Structure 1
Amino acid sequence: MTRVLVVDDEPSLVRTLSINLRARDYQVEHAFDGRSALQSVDESAPDVLVLDLGLPDIDGVEVIRRIRRSSDVPIIVLSARHDSDDKVEALDEGADDYVTKPFGMDELLARVRAAIRRRSTASPHALPVRTKDFALDFAERIALRDGVPVRLTPTEWHFLETLAARPGHLVSQADLLREVWGPGYEKETHYLRVYAGGLRRKLEPDPAKPRYLITDPGIGYRLQL
């Protein structure tokens, strides 16, 4: 059974989310602060984390940062913060998705399903990639840079898989968003900018002058091998 950890300091929201998730056969755990969330991730290894940014003890972005040191669990952020800088910061630290409060339950459930799909599904078309700077094994989910293991999140793997299925060819922004995040994300182009930047920092020898992960501004991305 898929385990979902809900982290929010609003008991009524946690209760509503728990009822709806359990009705769809998810196993639900909950935490009301950042420290409890970090402990639960460490001890129970949930399949998906639904995380509010406005926690009473540790800011949600810091929780994401600490989790990403040791875990690739998909993280869906819930937040009443509408500022785009907050969204970019959360994604940049490793969140997989961002839902602004108030939200529709159907929308959130769809995003939970998409996060699970990204974690469990590997592209059958993406062959291993080997360059002089890094290597990617999509079947085993192993990434090496200069021979040193690099931790990639499920969303980062999906992003690279989509490009690696057509090496050297342009993949449009809309196609990339649809493939990695799912239908309904075609306008979330800032997701692409944040994730491309993060992958360059992890894989490129000079992230400011990318050699492999190339942007065609306003059009799309390509993996140049």
Structure 2
Amino acid sequence: MSKPGNVVLLIEDEAKIRRFLRAGFEIHGFSVLEAESAAAGLKTATFNPPDLIILDLALPDMHGVEVLERLRSWSNVPVIILSVTSNEDEKVRLLQAGADDYVVKPFGIAELLARGEAALRRYFRRATENSVIVAGPLSIELASRTVSLNQTKIRLTRKEYRLLHILATHVGLVVTHDQLLAEIWSGNQRDNIQYLRTLVRKLRQKIETDPNTPRLLVTEPGVGYRLHSRLETGSYG
């Protein structure tokens, strides 16, 4: 069974199939988001990050492979592909592009749910396997909540550590403003991005050599922030 509150995003242009999938996932405890096009699906995945994506290959505005490649440029969320073809070469190509699994239409909802549960288990297991995350000169020990910079421990406030923890568990990937606000704050503060900018600025003062030219915690304009796995050259805002 899924964890309570797991969110699945259905990127599928056929309304009948979306209704079928929604019913099956909701019965098994998922919250369901829907998108009938690639553009809508990518937008939803960016601003309302799901725990699992079901992606149809034959979308009206973009091929599923391109959607998958765009998702993988910033997210490691599990993706299961739906397709009408069982061509082995295509399956290999999709798995190499970052798909977690592949289901051929027509399919039974029990099979899809089982594959979804398996993908989530693998994802959550990977997320908790590394008790120490290294990002350039930073070392974050998740179990003890200890942060070291160049092997010297640094002190962070509770919210500074929470921000760093979220970015570190997605190291190398973009984490959106909305996701960070939702996970760090509640109430009216969740809608105020200035709180997030202030917190990022304070954290940079503790982990960056030059906070005005960050090389670890970098801004992805209009989207969110990324913690690099190594020091990056060049200037970032």
Task: State TM-score, norm by structure 2.
Answer: 0.53
CA distance in 1, matches of 2:128, 2:74: 27
Unaligned regions of 5+ residues in structure 2, if any?
A: 135-140, 144-164, 174-237
Q: Which residue of 1 aligns with 2:14?
A: 10
CA distance in 2, matches of 1:122, 1:54: 30
Q: Which residue of 2 aligns with 1:28?
A: 32
Q: Which residue of 2 aligns with 1:118?
A: 122
Contact kept? 1:122, 1:138, Cα under 8 Å: no
Distance 1:127 1:88, change over 3 A: same
Unaligned regions of 5+ residues in structure 1, if any?
A: 131-136, 144-148, 152-225
Give 2:105's aligned amino acid. K
CA distance in 1, matches of 2:100, 2:21: 19
Question: Aligned pair 1:74/2:91, yes or no?
Answer: no
- The equivalences for 1:57-136 within 5 A come to 57-122=61-126
- Deviation of the 1:27 alpha carbon: 0.1
Give 2:119's aligned amino acid. A
Q: Please, which of 19, 22, 46 is the counterpart of residue 42 of structure 1?
A: 46
- Deviation of the 1:39 alpha carbon: 0.2
Aligned length: 141
- Deviation of the 1:8 alpha carbon: 0.8
What percentage of aligned pairs have identical amino acids? 38
- Deviation of the 1:95 alpha carbon: 0.5
Q: Larger Rg: 1 or 2?
A: 2
Distance 1:24 1:92, change over 3 A: same
CA distance in 1, matches of 2:6, 2:71: 19
**1:68-92 per-position Cα deviation (integer Å, ceiling 9, x unaligned):** 1111110000000221121112111
- Deviation of the 1:47 alpha carbon: 0.2
Give 1:16's aligned amino acid. F
